[in-house]
């Protein structure tokens, strides 16, 4: 099965995708949050990746642990043993999860992974391969070199667009079409964008037509307003990322596009990993 399941023959054919941003607003980036999102119907889980001082990869957004845990300091300065001993603020009381743990504990979920830290590409590729998750992961990053290196080692891993490609798609207008087609041939599958960029609207009908004509998907982050979600879906976006899991599930249910995790699970058959 390919990463994107909303295309022809996919378990979610014709459906807009719902992404649980960091697992939702509770217990951000924890196994508990991602498991809760999967059980609520989310097949697509968005997360971030940092590395510990000894090179272990964690699902963690910030460069430091101060905001979301009972600890202090940079993720990169703490050992894996120190990170495992922390508690993420929230009702579950989970530690920050190792990326390998997420991939193996949720063996049919699809992960949209933003590679936040430099130099983690080889270990990311190793972890994804160890979990047998090459077709369940999209590698995203503000650094296009990171995702290119991951896909060079693991060709089945999907790749998100770089900020430079996104900027070109907006600023060049119709002239961006050849660049978008080239990116699609080189393994990019989606442009993941905000509704607006530095005050400039991104998700317009003409922009969507260009993206879709190149064979690329358009995913929008982070949409927590119900009316905005409906407007964007009516406009034709292919997926929305949200912290408000109940809201987006309800909006997608109105379109007959919910739940999604059970459909992916049933199409995949017995869990691997």
Calculated CA dihedral for residues 200, 206, 207, 209, nearest 10 degrees: 170
> How many residues are recorded in the chain?
273
H-run or E-run covering 59 = strand 57-59
Is 61 an active-site residue?
yes
Q: Is 212 a catalytic residue?
A: no
Active-site pick, 21, 198, 212, 219: 21
Catalytic one of 50, 61, 198, 212: 61
The encoded tokens of residue 207 equal 């922009």
Q: Which residue has the tokens 């790749």?
A: 159
Residue 138: enclosing H or E segment and its boundaries?
Answer: strand 137-140
The residues, any chain, with a CB within 8 Å of residue 55's CB and separated by 6 or more, are 123
DSSP 198-254: TTEE---HHHHHHHHHTT-EEEEE----HHHHHHHHHHT-SEEEES-HHHHHHHHHH
Question: Where in the sequence numbering do the catalytic residues fall?
Answer: 21, 61
């Amino acid at each position: 099965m390919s990463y994107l399941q909303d295309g022809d023959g996919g378990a979610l054919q014709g459906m807009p995708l719902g992404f649980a941003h960091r697992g939702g607003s509770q217990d951000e980036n924890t196994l508990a949050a991602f498991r809760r999102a999967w059980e609520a119907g989310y097949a697509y889980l968005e997360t971030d990746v940092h590395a510990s001082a000894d090179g272990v990869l964690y699902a963690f957004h910030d460069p430091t642990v101060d905001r979301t845990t009972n600890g202090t300091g940079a993720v990169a300065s703490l050992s894996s043993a120190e990170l495992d001993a922390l508690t993420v603020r929230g009702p579950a009381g989970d530690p920050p999860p190792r990326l390998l743990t997420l991939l193996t504990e949720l063996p049919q979920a699809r992960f949209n992974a933003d590679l936040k830290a430099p130099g983690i590409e080889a270990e990311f590729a190793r972890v994804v391969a160890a979990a047998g998750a090459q077709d369940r992961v999209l590698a995203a990053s503000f650094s296009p070199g990171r995702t290119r290196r991951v896909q060079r080692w693991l060709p089945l891993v999907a790749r998100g667009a770089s900020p430079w490609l996104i900027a070109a798609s907006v600023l060049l207008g119709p002239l961006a079409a050849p660049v978008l087609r080239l990116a699609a041939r080189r393994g990019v599958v989606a442009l993941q964008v905000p509704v607006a960029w530095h005050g400039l609207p991104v998700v317009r009908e003409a922009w969507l037509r260009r993206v879709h004509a190149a064979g690329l998907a358009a995913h929008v982050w982070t949409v927590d307003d119900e009316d905005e979600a409906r407007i964007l879906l009516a406009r034709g976006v292919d997926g929305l990322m949200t912290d408000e899991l109940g809201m987006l599930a309800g909006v997608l249910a109105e379109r007959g596009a919910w739940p999604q995790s059970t459909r992916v699970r049933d199409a995949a058959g017995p869990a691997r990993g």
